[in-house]
Chain A
């Protein structure tokens, strides 16, 4: 025991020196001959059905390659991945949960280039691909595309005598009015007309997408109308106050699935959760999807969202097999596999869309179809070196405005001045 310990310590001490020299060998990836096993980093495997769907589907297509998920807690996914990569981890396929982290790993040279594979992809069918373009190079291929829609509770709408069709072309003032109409009850039986998740994107990303404002620009006057709307909703009681949702960590899932809110602006990923909850009997909500409300005078449906992609680790043990998985998962076969579990694939293809709308439980009325075919999907947050620093400041100030600690004008002024003075020096 003791001997073993001393050896370990000696090895460990020696390796520090190695580490300090930045040692480490790149992954050797030969052609997959015979059975190989690749590891794929995923989050919340048990409750995120798309991963199992992809892994099972790939197994059927390529029986010689076994795929082993490396399960990581969703909340901590980015941090864990950063630590793993810093230590020289050899997990083959890395799921890129968001685009800002993708650009960080890619510019740090931690991902294997997939430019050749990306060139083979039909860009018109996969609009999200361009998001991963870093000076003409690609390091990941998108397989899933989320964007925001307005979920609504059909039962509550009927009770308030609201025709679902009015949700087809809502403007923001109409949405606020509707939320007021749908609010009822007091105390434990209180139902809010809408629920605004505490994320800053609920106000800021949608405002940027629809007004064309730049979230990295350092001038945030364009947020004003959207903030006035959100503050108005909580003041009138049509939405749960931000302070309560923030301190009590109340999430959209518990509110909407228990029928405590009649409408909810949220990403398309929530549909697969609702689907699964209904199948398991956890929720009985009868729900629909409408397009996001628009600013007055707009004839198009503009919303925002973010793609999810697979990348290959630069130090992958089985790079060739990993590339085959990534290509398969982001191609038509992978798209069909995830559409079957209620996830919107990055590949925009009529056959895939039919699978999605054919699912039992996915609303397939004209309103939902319009919601799911928006005219324009803007990227949730532009990619740049400064994205995460700006994101931090915008999040902090968002909390101050929404809790009423700063009034709207002062808050927006602080946002602008902090971004200008603290970022990019």
Chain B
């Protein structure tokens, strides 16, 4: 009934190769467009091989817009927010998953409930609050907004639920405090989940447009996403350079992904969990 293993494996491999190629088409388009002239970007049908390669786009982008400033701002925001989110998320999640005390579930549901409200709905009250605190037009406003997200708490809690209680009970018997258990046992065990959380937080912050758009007005504070969007305004459309910028903006995330992959797919020491 089943095909021989090797045949099936190579069929899977071929399917994956095809799928991943198909998935990369839009990125390929970005790459190709980034070395074209502006008017050559939108052509029907698509011109997959540019008539001429305009590599100078990759030089011009740094002087046409303050790309370096944008990248620095995005990097600062993404790193700080990711670190805080992973810390606050895993710390609080331990409380929710592994310590039982009165009032816990109520707090957890309040986290959960806010996930269901679209940001567009409370954008305005939040903005007024930040304005009154004098934090609008600062990076701190975005850091505060995103570092305490409910997502991280929820994700880490779900992961901690899979860690057997017996393991923690044994540690408690050994005299470890709850903080000690969190730091010495749970944190090392949850490396794959932390890596995923860090990755998705980083990517979300990096690609966030609405947050910086609402909160940052000063051009020196702008992130890559608003910097790029400001390119395609009603009065100008430098699409090729925009794609050059997009390619550059994606690169840091790719590096993070390749680097972080090791952590969430390499496997954890399962022996400790038995």
Q: Chain A: residues with CB nearer than 8 A to chain B? A: 5, 8, 11-12, 15-16, 18-19, 43-44, 46-48, 70-76, 80, 83-84, 86-89, 188, 244, 248-251, 253-254, 257-258, 269, 273, 282
B162 close to A (CB within 8 Å): no
> CB distance A47 to B39 under 8 Å?
no
Which residues 219-257 of B sit at the A interface, judged by CB distance below 8 A?
219, 226, 229-230, 232-237
Chain B 200-236 per-residue mask, 1 if CB under 8 angstroms from chain A, else 0: 0000000000000110010100000010011011111
Q: Is B183 an interface residue, CB under 8 A from the partner? A: no
B128 at the interface (CB under 8 A from A): yes
What residue of chain A has the Cβ atom nearest to residue B136's Cβ? A87
Contact B129 A16 (CB under 8 A): yes
The distance from the CB of B37 to the nearest CB of chain A, in whole angstroms, is: 9
List 10 extra interface pairs beyond A8-B135, A250-B42, CB under 8 A.
A8-B140, A16-B125, A16-B129, A16-B132, A43-B233, A75-B232, A80-B213, A83-B127, A87-B128, A253-B237
B side interface size, CB within 8 A: 32
Pick the residue among A18, A87, A269 that contacts B130 (CB under 8 A): A87
Q: Is the pair A273, B235 in contact by a Cβ cutoff of 8 Å?
A: yes
Contact among A71, A83, A257 for B214, CB-based, below 8 A = A83
A11–B214 Cα distance when bound, in Å, is 21
User: Is B235's CB under 8 angstroms from A48's CB?
Assistant: yes
Residues of A within 8 A of B132 (CB): 12, 15-16, 18-19, 88
Q: List 5 A-B contacts (CB under 8 A).
A: A8-B140, A80-B214, A87-B130, A87-B136, A88-B132
Contact with A along B86-130 (1 / 0, CB 8 A): 000000000000000000000000000000000000011101111
Q: In the complex, what distance in Å separates the CA atom of A188 from the CA atom of B233?
A: 26
Q: Please tell me if the beta carbons of A188 and B43 are within 8 angstroms of each other in the complex.
A: yes
Q: Judging by beta carbons under 8 Å apart, are B133 and A12 in contact?
A: yes
Are A70 and B42 closer than 8 Å at their CB atoms? Answer: no
Query: Which residues of A sit under 8 angstroms from B42, Cβ to Cβ?
Result: 248-250, 254
B131 to A88, Cβ gap below 8 A?
yes
**Distance between A267 CB and nearest chain B CB, rounded to angstroms:** 11
Instruction: Compute how far the CA of A249 lies from the CA of B45 in the bound complex, rounded to whole angstroms.
Output: 14
With both beta carbons as reference points, the residue of chain A lying nearest to B127 in the complex is identified as A87
Task: Please give, as numbers and ranges, the residues of chain A lying within 8 Å of B226 by CB-CB distance.
Answer: 73
Considering the chains assembled together, what is the distance between the CA atoms of A244 and B45 in angstroms?
12
B234 adjacent to A75 (CB under 8 Å): yes
> Nearest chain A CB to B182's CB is how many angstroms away?
18
Does B38 lie at the interface of the complex (its beta carbon under 8 Å from any beta carbon of A)?
yes
Out of B43, B44, B127, B234, name the residue touching A74 (CB < 8 Å).
Answer: B234
How close is B130's CB to chain A, nearest CB, in angstroms?
Answer: 7
A8 contacts which of B39, B125, B144, B230 (Cβ < 8 Å)?
A: B144
Q: Which residue of A lies closest to B148 (CB)?
A: A9
In Å, the complex CA distance between A260 and B20 comes to 36
Contacts of A80 on B, CB cut-off 8 Å? Answer: 213-214, 217
The CA of A12 and the CA of B229, in the complex, are separated in Å by 30
Q: A257 CA to B39 CA in the complex, in Å?
A: 9
Give min CB distance, B105 to chain A, whole Å: 24
- Chain A contacts for B130, CB-based, 8 A: 12, 87
Interface pairs A-B: 10 shortest CB-CB: A15-B132, A87-B131, A47-B236, A74-B234, A44-B233, A74-B233, A12-B133, A19-B128, A258-B39, A47-B235
A83 and B124 in contact, given A11-B133, A89-B131, A254-B39 (Cβ under 8 angstroms)? yes
Q: Are B217 and A70 in contact (CB under 8 A)?
A: yes
Are B214 and A15 within 8 A (Cβ)? Answer: no
Chain B nearest CB, measured from A66 CB (Å)? 16
Closest to B47 in A: A188
Question: Contact at B44–A248, with CB atoms within 8 Å?
Answer: yes
Selected from B39, B213, B219, B237, the residue in CB contact (under 8 A) with A76 is: B213
How many Å from the CB of B140 to the closest CB on chain A? 8
Contact A251-B237, Cβ < 8 Å, known A86-B128, A244-B44: yes
Chain B residues within an 8 Å CB radius of A73: 213, 226, 229-230, 233
What is the bound-complex CA distance between A33 and B130, given in angstroms? 32
Most chain B beta carbons < 10 A, residue from A71, A72, A73? A73
CB distance from B218 to the nearest CB of A (A): 8
Bound together, the chains give a CA A12 to CA B140 distance in angstroms of 13
CA distance A87 to B217 in the complex (A): 13
Closest Cβ–Cβ distance, residue B247 to chain A (whole Å):
20
Interchain nearest-CB distance for A82 vs B (Å) = 9
Residues of A close to B43: CB separation below 8 A = 188
Interchain CA distance A358-B90 in the complex, whole Å:
68
B residues within 8 A CB of A244?
Answer: 44
Residue of A nearest to B239 (CB): A254
B45 to chain A, nearest CB (A): 8
Chain B residues whose C-beta falls within 8 Å of the C-beta of A282 in the assembled complex: 38
By the criterion CB–CB under 8 Å, are A44 and B235 in contact? yes
Instruction: Give, as a whole number of angstroms, the nearest-CB distance from A227 to chain B.
Output: 25
Complex CA gap A47/B133 in Å reads 34
Q: A254–B135 Cα gap in the complex (Å)?
A: 40
Contact B129 A19 (CB under 8 A): yes
User: How many angstroms between the C-alpha atoms of A188 and B42 in the bound complex?
Assistant: 11
Which residue from A8, A70, A253, A258 sits with its C-beta under 8 Å from B133? A8
Q: Report Cα–Cα, A269/B235, bound state, in Å.
A: 9
CB distance from B121 to the nearest CB of A (A): 14
How far is A293 from B32 in the complex, measured between Cα atoms in Å? 41
Q: Which residues of B contact A5 (CB under 8 A)?
A: 144
Q: Check A72 against B128 for contact (C-beta < 8 Å).
A: no
User: In the complex, which residue of chain A has the Cβ closest to the Cβ of B140?
Assistant: A8
Q: List, in ascending order, chain A residues with CB within 8 A of B39's CB.
A: 254, 257-258
Q: Closest A-chain residue to B123, C-beta based?
A: A83
- Give the nearest-CB partner of A253 in chain B: B237
**What separation, in Å, do the CA atoms of A8 and B131 have in the docked complex?**
12
In the assembly, what is the distance between CA of A48 and CA of B136, in Å?
Answer: 26
Chain B neighbourhood of A257, CB < 8 A: 39
CB distance from A222 to the nearest CB of B (A): 29
**Could you say which residues of chain A place their CB within 8 Å of the CB of B233?**
43-44, 47, 73-75
For the complex, what is the distance from the CA of A180 to the CA of B77, rounded to whole Å?
55
Q: In the complex, how many angstroms separate the beta carbon of A151 from the nearest chain B beta carbon?
A: 16
Shortest beta-carbon distance from A287 to chain B in Å = 16
* A251, closest chain B residue (CB): B237
Nearest CB in chain B: distance from A105 CB, A = 16
Q: Which residues of B contact A15 (CB under 8 A)?
A: 129, 132-133
